[in-house]
């Protein structure tokens, strides 16, 4: 039976108006490049976002046009997060950690019209400026220096607006945002997010059994706003009225800990490498920072070692695991424990917390291997496939025929997982990173997390190297903590009790550093290239 509910669009103007009406006094804090603090309220944010929306309209931006950003996490970036979508345009966040040639490719492929850029990132823009056709460049002057010819001042751009602005009609299936994958296995691919996808994702992520975010939180997203919607946290914060603390470009442990303490942050989010650095700083000077007891650290982007979760617990802070992808707007799972969790023994609790969590509402998951769909038994591995209302069904203007979707509409994540009877997903590897030894699969992720549980190990990445008898064998690349010493034999003995003998790496190479992708994951392609001629003993 139809016609019983209003046809009300799920679009971002609804979230912005809700915040403007109800959360005016709530605070938004940003750290500038010079480390000074910028403070203003939701009322200021609401007014300026609407001014920017009007200014973009007057400047000729039309529905569907792409407005690119090259920016750190701060108040002006949040204004653009809402202003561009609220006139039917598309905010396209550029990953400033990519190579300039890759950024130029992305700008051209997306057909970006305007660029809004931090003044401190102009040197990066100028490295690819001649490769792109940007009509206008608007600069947020965080450092307050003079602008060269051809650049417009952000504040002056806002002053072109009168404050007399009405939202245009927007279809909830229209694109509101765009982000490109990091391109570790080929050219970056564009993912366009619809208003409906972002709004439904925002509602789900805020829920008590997902991230449990309300107006009572003080939220600091370390995860960049230029990648995968900052895990949706900027939209969730505005919808709920949470106090927002932006770190700007200062993502080192000392600056983050200072900001977490000064603003009494209750929840923060980032990749494991960020939390590893914070953990080391806290262990070195445990009484230096007055952090909120029980502060929650949301971790994603890569599997978090169980040892990291345990050590933060010892300090009084809680790590919450989640998982998602650029193609998923991006969150797909959350690790908030179930009621039955309290009845489990401690080791089992930590084993579960180190998993990637359970599917969000409306996210369908299945595990597929050579035998078909695998059971949710916590043991049978296969590729994770997903579908749902905020999961992409194509890439933006694909250059090749799409192969990332099944004929019946499921997205190939490329992650090899198990799912247990309670729905907890455990990523055992990426399909391209699994090690096949003598016809049997070995999980590089499980080996890495076990090695990083050793007190002398800072980081560990495991790759496959050729073997004349077994086809492939695991090689571990290990970074040792400063001032520590250990041997390959000691590390092999350390993890041997956790795995069958044939899983233990045949060799361990000690390296000064492990390369990372722009989003903090291990760049195993670089390690495979470095050790492509590595010879193991027969």
Query: Mind telling me the catalytic residues?
Result: 181, 327, 436, 441
At 502, list the tokens: 């044939």
Cα torsion 96, 101, 104, 105 to 10°: value is -110
Sequence-ordered strand ranges (E) for 4-150:
27-31, 37-41, 66-70, 90-93, 112-118, 136-140
At 60, list the tokens: 């000729």
Number of H helices, E strands in the chain: 15, 26
Count CA atoms closer than 13 A to 507's CA, side-chain side.
17
Q: Under the phi-then-psi rule, with left for phi > 0, alpha for psi from -120 to 50, and beta for the rest, what region is 330? A: alpha
Helices 272-284 and 306-315, packing angle to 10 deg: 40
Cα angle 199, 298, 510; round to 5:
130
Q: How far is 493 from 495, CA to CA, in rounded Å?
A: 6
Q: How far is 383 from 394, CA to CA, in rounded Å?
A: 19
Order of strands, edge to edge, in the sheet holding 267-270?
A: 37-41, 27-31, 243-246, 218-221, 267-270, 296-299, 318-324, 331-334, 358-359
246, containing H or E segment: strand 243-246
Sequence-ordered strand ranges (E) for 345-493:
358-359, 364-369, 372-373, 382-387, 411-419, 425-430, 435-437, 440-442, 457-467, 471-480
For 424, the 3-state DSSP assignment is coil
Cα torsion 140, 144, 148, 149 to 10°: value is 60
Residue 278: exposed, middle, or buried by beta-carbon count in 10 A (0-12, 13-18, 19+)? buried
Can you name the residues that pair with 116 across neighbouring β-strands?
A: 69, 138
Pairing of strands 471-480, 457-467: antiparallel
In the 3-class helix/strand/coil scheme, how is 128-178 assigned residue by residue?
HHHHCCCCEEEEECCCCCCCCCCEEEHHHHHCCCCCCCCCCCCCCCCEEEE
Decide if 392 contacts 325 (C-beta within 8 A): no
Burial 137-164 (b: 16+ CB within 10 A, else e): bbbbbbeeeeeeeebbebeebbeebeee
For 78, the 3-state DSSP assignment is helix
């Amino acid at each position: 039976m139809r016609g019983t509910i209003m046809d009300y669009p799920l679009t971002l103007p609804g979230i912005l108006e809700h915040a403007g009406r109800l959360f005016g006094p709530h605070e938004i804090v940003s750290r500038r490049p010079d480390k000074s603090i910028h403070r203003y309220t939701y009322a200021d944010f609401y007014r300026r976002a609407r001014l920017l929306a009007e200014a973009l309209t007057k400047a000729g931006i039309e529905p569907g046009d792409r407005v690119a950003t090259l920016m750190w996490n701060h108040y002006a970036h949040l204004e653009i997060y809402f202003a561009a979508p609220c006139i039917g345009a598309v905010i396209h966040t550029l990953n400033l950690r990519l190579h300039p040639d890759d950024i130029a490719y992305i700008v051209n492929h997306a057909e970006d019209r305007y660029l809004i850029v931090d003044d401190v990132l102009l040197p990066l823009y100028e490295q690819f400026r001649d490769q792109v056709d940007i009509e206008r460049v608007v600069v947020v002057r965080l450092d307050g220096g003079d602008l060269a010819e051809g650049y417009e001042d952000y504040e002056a751009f806002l002053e072109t607006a009168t404050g007399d602005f009405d939202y245009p009609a927007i279809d909830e299936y229209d694109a509101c945002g765009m982000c490109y994958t990091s391109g570790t296995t080929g050219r970056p691919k564009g993912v366009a997010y619809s208003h409906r996808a972002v709004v439904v994702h925002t509602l789900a992520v805020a829920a008590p059994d997902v991230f449990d975010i309300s107006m009572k939180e003080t939220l600091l997203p370390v995860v960049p706003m230029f990648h995968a919607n900052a895990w949706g946290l900027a939209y969730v914060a505005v919808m709920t009225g949470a106090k927002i603390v932006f770190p700007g470009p200062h993502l080192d442990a000392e600056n983050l800990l200072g900001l977490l303490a000064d603003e009494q942050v209750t929840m923060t989010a980032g990749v494991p490498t960020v939390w590893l650095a914070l953990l080391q700083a806290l262990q070195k000077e445990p009484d230096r920072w007055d952090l909120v007891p029980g502060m929650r650290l949301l971790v994603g982007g890569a599997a978090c070692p169980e040892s990291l979760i345990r050590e933060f617990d010892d300090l009084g802070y809680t790590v919450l695991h989640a998982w998602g992808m650029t193609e998923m707007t991006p969150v797909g799972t959350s690790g908030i424990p179930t009621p039955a969790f309290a009845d489990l023994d401690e080791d089992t609790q930590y084993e579960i917390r180190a998993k990637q969590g359970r599917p969000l509402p409306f996210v369908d998951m299945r595990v597929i291997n050579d035998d078909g769909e695998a059971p949710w038994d916590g043991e049978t591995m296969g590729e994770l496939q997903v579908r749902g209302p905020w999961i992409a069904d194509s890439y933006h203007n694909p250059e090749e025929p799409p192969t990332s979707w099944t004929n019946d509409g499921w997205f190939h994540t490329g992650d090899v997982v198990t799912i247990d009877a309670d729905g907890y997903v455990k990523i055992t590897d990426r399909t391209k990173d699994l090690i096949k030894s003598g016809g049997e699969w070995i999980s590089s992720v499980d080996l890495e997390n076990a090695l990083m549980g050793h007190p002398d190990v800072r980081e560990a990445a495991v790759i496959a190297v050729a073997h004349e008898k077994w086809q492939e064998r695991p090689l571990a690349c290990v970074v040792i903590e400063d001032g520590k010493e250990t041997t390959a034999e000691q590390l092999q003995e350390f993890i041997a009790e956790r795995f069958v003998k044939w899983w233990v790496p045949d060799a361990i190479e000690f390296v000064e550093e492990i390369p990372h992708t722009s989003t903090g994951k291990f760049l195993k392609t670089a390690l495979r290239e470095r050790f492509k001629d590595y010879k193991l003993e027969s």
